[in-house]
Amino acid sequence: MDNNDLKHIAKQFNIEGAVLSVTPTGNGHINDTYLVDTDSGRYILQRINTHVFRSPEQLMYNIKAVTDFMHSRLQVITTRDEGLFAVTPDGHWRMMTYIENSYTCERIDDPEQFYEIGRAYGSFIYELSGFPAGDLYETIEGFHDTRRRFEQLMRACDADPFGRKKTALKEMRFACERERDIDVLNDSVRRGEIPVRVTHNDTKINNVLLDRDTGKAVCVIDLDTVMPGLAVTDFGDAIRSGASTGREDEEDPAKVTIDMDLYRSYEAGFLAGCPDLTEKEIELMPVGARLMALECGIRFLTDYIEGDHYFKTEYPEHNLVRCRAQFRIVEELETLIG
């Protein structure tokens, strides 16, 4: 987009000072993110992907509700007419505070970093334990319902709209061989063995801000998927993204292993941050790690077969490569923790 257009959008929000520049930042798969510089401070501007988040009203209600409840440093900046987002011919836009002197990790450099990230995600769940999960909207229906994700994959394979199924037969077989495992967490919820909580649901390592000076966690960001969920899936999603030695789109599966020192560091931080986990939740944390890697691989595979309409891609096989890396993590976790 033209910089003048972006400046005009930024001016629709309650910010102080003149807008100096609006520049792309971040590398998220879903929304378009920009850094807004003004002569009195900085802000984050995002175009909401309404193909993924079909109700911006519900999405922004959730984010405002939980950040207000937590008194988080990450806050929604309202529009000049006190709305939670702005609508322009170019889409739906929101603005958030920018946290100075902070950074995110794309790769973990040492176990202490991962401990801090685990503590941040655990604390996020714990701080919201008094917030009624039922008061939040489900911004993506069935987001961590692994059975639902598996069935979506089967439908995509049956339709095969782009003729890609023939290039992914090995990956489809891998997913089908593990169908027996995908209902474990859903069954535990139905039996009342583990509670539904307010959870983040997208606990990648780069969704926690760390202080540049101290290395301590500052706050959790990217709250689009905050909604009712399970602590064990928040644990597992971070393990699959942070304890892996390979990139999310690593093309050489041999480079994808699980670093158990990192696994244990994150586990310790997560438990320290969320001291009210039940015994059953703690027991199922390794299952959550394995299932989140399987589910993520299934999602990448489904998007590949359907023509890459969900995740941003850089080349035609990108989602298939991502799928293979996730399935490799599943194999590693099956070997290391069962």
What digits encode the pLDDT tens for the residues 89-141?
999 999 999 999 999 998 887 899 999 999 999 999 999 999 999 999 999 98
- Confidence class for position 52, pLDDT limits 50, 70, 90: confident
For 148-169, the pLDDT digits (tens) are 999 999 999 999 999 999 999 9
Name 83's Cβ contacts closer than 8 Å, sequence gap at least 6.
Answer: none
pLDDT of residue 213: 96
For 186-244, the pLDDT digits (tens) are 999 999 999 999 999 999 999 999 999 999 999 999 999 999 999 999 999 999 989 99
Distances (CA, A) of 75 to 68, 69, 78, 152, 203: 8, 11, 9, 35, 19
Rounded CA gap, 117 and 125, in Å?
13
Taking 70 as the threshold, does the pLDDT of residue 29 lie above it? Answer: no
Q: Tally DSSP H helices, then E strands, for the chain.
A: 10, 11
pLDDT of residue 26: 77
What letter would DSSP give residue 78? P
- Confidence class for position 51, pLDDT limits 50, 70, 90: confident
Query: Of residues 310 and 58, which shows the higher confidence score?
Result: 58
Burial 123-159 (b: 16+ CB within 10 A, else e): bbbbbbeebeeeebbebbeebbbbeebbebbeebbee
pLDDT of residue 304: 98
Mean pLDDT (whole number) for 72-90: 96
For the segment(s) 103-336, the CATH number from 3.90.1200.10, 1.10.287.110, 1.10.101.10, 3.30.43.10 is: 3.90.1200.10
pLDDT of residue 194: 97
pLDDT of residue 150: 97
For the segment(s) 3-98, the CATH number from 3.30.200.20, 3.90.230.10, 3.30.70.1710, 3.40.50.1010 is: 3.30.200.20
Report whether 164 contacts 102 (CB < 8 A): no
Report whether 102 contacts 221 (CB < 8 A): no
Stretch among 2-16, 53-67, 183-197 having the lowest mean pLDDT: 2-16
What is the pTM for the complete model shown? Answer: 0.92
For 166-197, the pLDDT digits (tens) are 999 999 999 999 999 999 999 999 999 999 99
For 266-301, the pLDDT digits (tens) are 999 999 999 999 999 999 999 999 999 999 999 999
DSSP 3-state of 337: coil
Report whether 146 contacts 201 (CB < 8 A): no
* Domain edges within the chain: 3-98, 103-336
